[in-house]
């Protein structure tokens, strides 16, 4: 081992971010470096990040987690996408699934051909009829993708819903078994090197001192190190993402067990519904400038499908990001680095990204500045790409039934997002700034779901044989419907996978 190799890493804060950081470090570093995680039972975690993106599967796979054990231990269910209700206008309903609208034709996305046919015929079925995930979600069916590449049963993806506190405990057990040292304590102070300004140790309330070479800040919104020590600064995006409050409450399990998240727009924000094996997670995300906390709680509780299992838990946040997530020998991961509201389930994905980039640009004790610069560039860029995608849901609206929605319709947005909206509205083309992020199909799902229908299409598509194109779509739609009907129910699949009824027993 090089004499410059890191020998001690200290993670400040547990929860989802802390243990998602500790687990891969333990796997990769083994006994060559001591990883210590400090968490306090006195400091609560947000604990509402129960819905994920498909990338979580690859994170779990990289750790070598057993799929059935993971589903059993975290009370997980499967997620094919998000059902949106009342977004765009009251009564509107659409689905953002983890898949496309059929295979490309002549190197052009299938939705563009649907648009062409829809212009020719007023009775063209919905574009969602060519989404495998939508067909599965409507029927509450689930099975992982299978079959030859290019077939409808291989062209979709999936993620999970899970109990975030159980997932953190699951990863804690994994990490501790691989050598991570866990300390339950509260941090009382931070020691800095007098010349370099690097963190040398954190001081605990009981008088102990924990030294390290690298310090990872997973302390949540407080940003104990990245902001408390290094004053990284924060880019506040509240003007474009006005929701600043949330209330969360669990309710009893609801039947049927749906394989998707539900997001329902409200007068001053939106509510979520996340089905787990043992309960249903619910929440109300809103702006407290447009609704009181008391009224927000009433909206949340009145919309529950079953009896509440607790009182609503109040949360406050400011959407945005730290101006730098890596300063000297301190790296912020999770809420300490920034926060974008949970509308598209990106919080856990942002942790995955940051952990992956930390491993990719892992330092030695020289902490060369170029590593931090690249990490900060990637993190900032990803936050901005996701920010634009989330803003899109609010900006493109016909709702004018409340002051909140009138504000959203008229608020300024980044030029990058404005260009995306205008190009699609005028030509049907989708701009993708981030090839590793939300896909063309995801943008189409949101834009068309919100009622943006392009004014013109691709002129080259009109040259295709219309009859052959109609036949292709008819066959594809029939294939999707038959494939979905043949799949097991969502709850049935879970029960078979974990070997028991999917009821939390």
- Each domain of the chain, given as residue ranges in start order, spans 8-76+162-238+319-385, 99-151+414-485, 245-316
Query: pLDDT > 90: what percent of the chain?
Result: 93
**Assigned superfamily of 8-76+162-238+319-385:** FAD/NAD(P)-binding domain (3.50.50.60)
Q: Which two tokens stand for residue 204?
A: 């605990």
Query: Is 4 marked as binding a ligand?
Result: no
Contacts of 102 (CB under 8 A, 6+ apart): 110, 130, 152, 155, 473, 476
pLDDT interval class at 503 (50, 70, 90):
very low
Whether the per-residue pLDDT at 463 is higher than 90: the answer is no
Give the pLDDT confidence score for residue 500 in this predicted structure: 59
Whether the per-residue pLDDT at 90 is higher than 60: the answer is yes
Alpha-carbon span 270 to 286, nearest angstrom: 6
Mean pLDDT to the nearest integer, 174-203? 98
Mean pLDDT to the nearest integer, 208-233? 98
pTM for the model stands at 0.96
Give the pLDDT confidence score for residue 499 in this predicted structure: 84
Give the pLDDT confidence score for residue 502 in this predicted structure: 45
Alpha-carbon span 57 to 50, nearest angstrom: 14
Mean pLDDT to the nearest integer, 358-363? 98
pLDDT interval class at 79 (50, 70, 90):
very high
pLDDT interval class at 45 (50, 70, 90):
low
DSSP state of 296: H
Alpha-carbon span 131 to 114, nearest angstrom: 12
Alpha-carbon span 436 to 433, nearest angstrom: 9
Whether the per-residue pLDDT at 43 is higher than 60: the answer is no
Mean pLDDT to the nearest integer, 152-173? 97
Task: Give the range among 32-41, 132-141, 429-438, 457-466 with minimum mean pLDDT.
Answer: 457-466
Give the pLDDT confidence score for residue 501 in this predicted structure: 45
Pairing state between β 77-79 and 159-161: antiparallel
Query: Is 14 marked as binding a ligand?
Result: yes
Give the pLDDT confidence score for residue 504 in this predicted structure: 38
**Local structure of 189: helix, strand or coil:** strand
Query: Is 348 marked as binding a ligand?
Result: yes
Query: Is 15 marked as binding a ligand?
Result: yes
Give the pLDDT confidence score for residue 483 in this predicted structure: 98
Query: Is 105 marked as binding a ligand?
Result: no
Tell which wins on pLDDT, 167 or 123.
Answer: 167
> pLDDT digits over 477-502, tens only?
999 999 999 999 999 999 999 885 44
pLDDT interval class at 505 (50, 70, 90):
very low
Q: Which two tokens stand for residue 193?
A: 């090197």
- Catalytic-residue membership of 79: yes
Alpha-carbon span 318 to 339, nearest angstrom: 7
> Of the listed 79, 324, 328, 395, which one is catalytic?
79
Whether the per-residue pLDDT at 464 is higher than 90: the answer is no
Whether the per-residue pLDDT at 46 is higher than 90: the answer is no
Query: Is 143 marked as binding a ligand?
Result: no
């Amino acid at each position: 081992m090089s004499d410059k190799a890191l020998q001690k890493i200290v993670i400040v804060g547990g929860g989802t971010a802390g243990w998602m950081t500790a687990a891969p470090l333990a796997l990769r570093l083994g006994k060559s470096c001591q990883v210590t995680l400090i968490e306090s039972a006195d400091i609560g975690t947000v604990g509402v990040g129960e819905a994920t993106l498909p990338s979580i599967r690859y994170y779990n796979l990289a750790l070598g987690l057993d799929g059935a054990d993971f589903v059993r231990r975290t009370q997980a269910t499967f997620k094919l996408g998000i059902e949106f209700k009342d977004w765009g206008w009251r009564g509107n309903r659409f689905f953002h699934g983890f898949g496309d609208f059929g295979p490309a034709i002549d190197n052009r996305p299938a939705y563009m051909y649907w648009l062409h046919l829809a212009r020719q015929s007023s009775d063209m079925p919905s574009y969602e009829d060519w989404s495998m995930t939508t067909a599965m979600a409507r029927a509450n069916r689930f099975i992982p993708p299978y079959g030859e590449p290019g077939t409808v049963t291989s062209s979709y993806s999936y993620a999970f819903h899970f109990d975030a506190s159980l997932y953190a405990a699951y990863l804690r057990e994994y990490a501790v078994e691989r050598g991570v040292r866990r300390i339950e304590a509260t941090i009382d102070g931070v020691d800095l090197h007098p010349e370099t300004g690097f963190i040398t140790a954190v001081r605990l309330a009981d008088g102990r001192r924990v030294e390290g070479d690298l310090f990872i800040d997973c302390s949540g919104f407080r940003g104990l190190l990245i902001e408390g020590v290094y004053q990284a600064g924060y880019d506040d995006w509240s003007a474009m993402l006005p929701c600043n409050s949330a209330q969360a409450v669990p309710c009893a399990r609801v039947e049927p067990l749906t394989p998707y998240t539900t997001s329902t727009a409200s007068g001053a924000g939106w509510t979520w519904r996340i089905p787990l094996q043992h309960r249903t997670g619910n929440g109300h995300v809103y702006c407290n400038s447009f609704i009181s906390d008391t009224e927000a709680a009433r909206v949340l509780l009145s919309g529950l499908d079953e009896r509440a299992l607790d009182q609503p838990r109040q949360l406050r946040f400011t959407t945005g990001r730290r101006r730098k997530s890596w300063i000297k020998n301190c790296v912020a991961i999770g809420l300490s680095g920034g926060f974008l509201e949970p509308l598209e389930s990106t919080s856990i994905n942002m942790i995955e990204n940051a952990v992956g980039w930390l491993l990719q640009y892992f330092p030695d004790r020289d902490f060369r500045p170029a590593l931090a610069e690249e990490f900060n560039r990637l993190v900032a860029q990803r936050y901005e790409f996701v920010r634009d995608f989330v803003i899109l849901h609010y900006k493109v609206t016909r709702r004018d039934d409340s002051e909140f929605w009138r504000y959203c319709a008229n608020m300024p947005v980044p030029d990058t997002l404005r260009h995306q909206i205008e190009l699609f509205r005028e030509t049907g083309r989708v701009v993708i700034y981030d090839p590793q992020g939300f896909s063309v199909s995801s943008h189409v799902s949101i834009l068309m779901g919100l009622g943006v229908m392009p004014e013109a299409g691709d002129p080259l598509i009109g040259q295709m044989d219309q009859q052959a194109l109609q036949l292709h779509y008819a066959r594809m739609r029939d294939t999707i419907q038959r494939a979905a009907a043949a799949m097991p129910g969502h709850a049935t699949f879970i029960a078979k996978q974990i070997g028991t009824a999917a009821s939390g027993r």
